[in-house]
Amino acid sequence: MANNNQKKGNSSHKQLKVLFVVSEAYPYASVGGLGMAIFSLTRALKKEGLDVRIFMPKYGQIDEKKYRLKMLLEGLQVPTDDPAEGKESLVCNVKQYAKRKSDPMVYFLENMEYYEKRSNVYGYSDDPIRFVLLSRGALEFLRQSDWVPDVINCADWHTGALPNYLKTSYSNDPVLGGIKTVFSIHNLYHQGVFDHRFVSELDADDGRSPIASFFAERLLKQNFVKRGILYSDLVNTVSETYAKEILTKEYGEGLEDLLQEVRTKVFGILNGLDHKELNPATDPSLVKNFTIRNLKDRVENKLHLQKEFNLDMGEDIPVLGMVGRLYEQKGIDLLFPILEVLLAEHMIEFVVVGGGEPEYRTFFEELNKKFPHRVGTHLMSDVTLARHVFAGSDLFLMPSKFEPCGITQMEAMRYGAIPVVRETGGLADTVENFDPIRNTGTGFTFEEFHSYAFFGAIVRGLETYKYKKTWERLVRRAMKADFSWNTSAKRYIELYQRACTL
C-alpha cells in the first residue's frame, strides 16, 4: 500500500525514503564514475536525514565473507513475460548489508546465471536481460518488503526499464502504485549494447510498445534510455549545462526531439566530490601534505612527480597533466597538432595517466620517445598516480568533446592544479575562466572544439604562470571551490520533493 507521505506530499525531507536501483556502487562493484557517485551521494543524503537504500546485482566478484551479507528473501520469482514452460520466471535471492548504521542499507539481487557466474560487471551480449532482471527484480522485491520507498532513483540505460514497468505492468499495484521515479543520466552517449543511432525503421524502438519478454530477440533492440526518459516522473543529468546541451542535436545522441518534448521534467544537478577523501592536507598518497596556507609544501609533490616519471627536475618548469580514459569523448585529438609544438617551443613538461584506445596510446608513446625527459606516460589507470598528477602538475588539461559532469577537473582544482578545459557540460559549470584585469576565475577555458582554441587557452595559462603572485591567488581560488556532495544532496532532495508532489 502506498504510504501516507506519498498521498500527502512530503512536507519534510527527513521523511523521504529513496531507493537507488543501480548497476554498480562502490566499494562492492565499481567500474566508472557511476559507482563512486552513488557511494558519495547516498551517504550525503543519509546525513541529511533521508532513509536511503541501494538495490544492485550481487556480482561474482563481491566477497560475501568480507561484507557479511545476510539472506533477506529466498526464492524471489521474477516474471519474464515468456510463456514457454520453465521460462515464465527467474528465481533470485535478495541479500542485504550495511557496515554501520550511518551507511545506506544495500540490497543485493542474487542470480547464479546472470550475475554470479560473470567475471565482469558489463560487456556481455545478454546485458539487456541482466539489467531488466535487475529492474523487475527490484519491483518484485518491494512488493514483498515491509519497506516501500517514496522515490526510486534509477541511473542510465541499465535501469531505464524500471520506470517503464512501474507505469505499465505495475500501475495498479496496491504497494507500488504510489512510488515516483527519477531517471538520472550520467552519460547519454551510452544507450546499451545495441547501436540505436544507426538503425532501420524495423529495428527502431518507439519506446511505447510493451517491454519484450526477457528471452525475445526484440529485447536486445529496445532503448531503455528512451524508455527511462519517457516513463519516469523526472529526469536529471549530472550538470546544469549538460541538461541544456542534450536538448540539441549536437549532444542529444538521437534523443533530442524526445527530450525537447519533455524538457519541463529535465533538470541538471552537478556531481560532487568527497572533500574528506580528497584532501591534500591529509591524503596519505602524497609525499608532502599541503593546504592553501602553505602552498610552498606543494612544490615537493611537483618535484616527486618529475622524479617519478624521469623528467628534468625544476620547480619553475610548468608541468601539464592529464588523467582519465583516453578515447574520443575526452578531446585527445585536439592535442595531435599542438602538443609537439608546445614541447618544442616552450620549456614545459607533460604527464599523462590513463588507459584507452590504441591510437592515443601510440601518440603519447611516440612523444615520450621524442622527449624522454619532458614527457611522462603511464598508459593505464592508477588512482595513486592520478593523485600525484593532481598534486604535482601546474596545468590540468581536459579538452572534452562533451562532458556530462567530469570529476577529474574538480579533483585537480582541489589539489591545486589549474584546469584548462573546453566550455561544455560540467566543465562549464565548474571552471570559471581567468580574467587578468579583475583577477577572477579558477582556470582557462575555450569554447570551440578546435586545436587552435585549445592551444590559445594553454598559452594563456603558461603566460599567467610566469607571474607568481597572480598564480598563487589563482591556485588558492581553485582550491577553495566548493564541490562537496552536501550541496548536490540538497538539490537532489528538492528534486525528490518535486517528484512526490506530481
Q: What is the pLDDT of residue 397?
A: 98
Residue with cell 577555458: 445
Assigned domain for 102 exists: no
Contacts for 100 with CB less than 8 Å, ≥ 6 apart: none
- Domain containing residue 156: CATH number: 3.40.50.2000
> Do 263 and 327 belong to one domain?
no
Assigned domain for 336 exists: yes
Q: How far apart are CA 467 and CA 475, in angstroms?
A: 12
Alpha carbon distance, N-terminus to C-terminus of the chain: 18
Residue with cell 512526490: 500
Residue 250 grid cell: 549536437
Q: What is the pLDDT of residue 14?
A: 53
Residue 140 grid cell: 518484485
Assigned domain for 412 exists: yes
Q: How far apart are CA 399 and CA 447, in angstroms?
A: 10
| Number of domains the chain contains | 2
Q: What is the pLDDT of residue 31?
A: 84
> Do 300 and 247 belong to one domain?
no
Q: What is the pLDDT of residue 7?
A: 39
Q: What is the pLDDT of residue 470?
A: 97
> Do 396 and 452 belong to one domain?
yes
Q: For residue 308, which of 378, 233, 260, 363 has the smallest C-alpha distance?
A: 378
Single pTM value for the model: 0.90
DSSP string, 318-330: -EEEEES-BSGGG
Phi, psi of 94, rounded to the nearest 5 degrees:
-125, 125
Q: How far apart are CA 139 and CA 76, in angstroms?
A: 11
The residue type at 19: L
> Do 347 and 426 belong to one domain?
yes
Q: How far apart are CA 20 and CA 35, in angstroms?
A: 12
The answer to whether 108 and 60 are in contact (CB under 8 A) is no
Assigned domain for 71 exists: no
Assigned domain for 94 exists: no
Residue 498 grid cell: 518535486
Strand locations in 385-456, DSSP E? Answer: 395-398, 418-422, 444-446
Q: What is the pLDDT of residue 197?
A: 78
The answer to whether 465 and 145 are in contact (CB under 8 A) is no
Q: For residue 387, which of 309, 279, 297, 481 has the smallest C-alpha distance?
A: 279
Residue with cell 595531435: 336
> Do 493 and 442 belong to one domain?
no
Phi, psi of 490, rounded to the nearest 5 degrees:
-65, -35
pLDDT tens column, 29-67: 988 789 989 999 999 999 999 999 999 999 999 988 899
Q: How far apart are CA 118 and CA 108, in angstroms?
A: 15
* Beta bridge partner(s), residue 351: 321, 376
Q: Other C-beta atoms within 10 Å of 207: how many? A: 19
Residue 85 grid cell: 514452460
Q: For residue 161, which of 230, 58, 78, 106 has the smallest C-alpha distance?
A: 230
Phi, psi of 162, rounded to the nearest 5 degrees:
-60, -50
Contacts for 8 with CB less than 8 Å, ≥ 6 apart: none
> Do 166 and 203 belong to one domain?
yes
pLDDT tens for the chain, residues 1 to 502: 334 444 333 445 557 999 999 999 999 998 878 998 999 999 999 999 999 999 999 999 998 889 999 999 999 999 999 998 889 999 999 999 988 887 899 999 999 999 999 888 999 999 999 999 999 999 999 999 999 999 999 999 999 999 999 999 999 999 999 999 999 999 999 998 888 877 788 888 999 999 999 999 999 999 999 999 999 999 999 999 999 999 999 999 999 999 999 999 999 999 999 888 899 999 999 999 999 999 999 999 999 999 999 999 999 999 999 999 999 999 999 999 999 999 999 999 999 999 999 999 999 999 999 999 999 999 998 989 999 999 999 999 999 999 999 999 999 999 999 999 999 999 999 999 999 999 999 999 999 999 999 999 999 999 999 999 999 999 999 999 999 999 999 999 999 999 999 9
> Do 321 and 393 belong to one domain?
yes
Assigned domain for 249 exists: yes
Q: Other C-beta atoms within 10 Å of 10: how many? A: 20
Contacts for 286 with CB less than 8 Å, ≥ 6 apart: 280, 301, 387, 388, 391
Pairing of strands 151-155, 105-110: unpaired
Pairing of strands 444-446, 180-185: unpaired
Query: What's the domain range around 175?
Result: 125-272+486-500
> Do 423 and 312 belong to one domain?
yes
> Do 176 and 303 belong to one domain?
no
Assigned domain for 70 exists: no
Assigned domain for 322 exists: yes
> Do 213 and 360 belong to one domain?
no
Q: How far is CA 467 from the centre of its chain?
A: 36
Phi, psi of 454, rounded to the nearest 5 degrees:
-65, -45
Q: How far apart are CA 436 and CA 465, in angstroms?
A: 12
Q: What is the pLDDT of residue 375?
A: 98
> Do 258 and 329 belong to one domain?
no
With residue 154 as reference, give the H or E element that holds it.
strand 151-155
Q: How far apart are CA 37 and CA 313, in angstroms?
A: 37
> Do 438 and 391 belong to one domain?
yes
Q: How far apart are CA 493 and CA 116, in angstroms?
A: 34
